[in-house]
């Protein structure tokens, strides 16, 4: 009998084409967020391996911070997650939105 529980896959495809599992995701106490780690977490949510709420609890993120990661990946791919380019991409999208 089904209990209306969402079905979770055991693996999802990561940003570089590798298989991701719950065990292969970045550790909850990750001290430094690289572009790849951020993209892996976004891919995990996109593939329904984790929910947004679980990601925010697991990694002590705000919903706004995670939403920014998602938008950055959707707009610019993994390069959009680079902190050195964040302002450049923000300015570009702001100009595009105006026109």
CA distance 66 to 28: 14
Task: Estimate the crossing angle of helix 52-59 against helix 63-76, to 10 degrees.
Answer: 110
37-65 tens-digit pLDDT: 999 999 999 999 999 999 999 999 999 99
Flag residues of the chain having pLDDT under 70.
Answer: 1-5, 84-97, 99
Q: For residue 55, give both structure tokens.
A: 């990601």
The answer to whether 24 and 44 are in contact (CB under 8 A) is no
Q: What is the pLDDT of residue 91?
A: 63
Strand partners, 12: 20
Task: Estimate the crossing angle of helix 63-76 against helix 86-98, to 10 degrees.
Answer: 70
The one-character DSSP state at 12 is E
**Best CATH choice for the domain 12-23+32-98 from the list 3.10.20.30, 1.10.10.10, 2.40.10.10, 3.40.640.10:** 1.10.10.10
| pTM score, whole prediction | 0.79
Q: Per-domain residue ranges for the chain?
A: 12-23+32-98
């Amino acid at each position: 009998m089904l209990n209306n529980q969402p079905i979770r896959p055991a693996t999802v495809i990561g940003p570089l084409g590798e298989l991701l599992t719950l065990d292969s995701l970045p550790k909850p106490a990750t001290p430094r967020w690289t572009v790849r780690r951020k993209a892996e977490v976004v891919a995990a949510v996109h593939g329904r391996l984790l929910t947004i709420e679980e990601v925010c609890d697991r990694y002590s993120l705000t919903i706004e911070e995670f939403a920014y990661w998602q938008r950055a990946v959707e707009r610019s791919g993994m390069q959009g997650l680079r902190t050195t380019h964040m302002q450049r991409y923000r300015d570009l999208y702001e100009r595009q939105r105006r026109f």
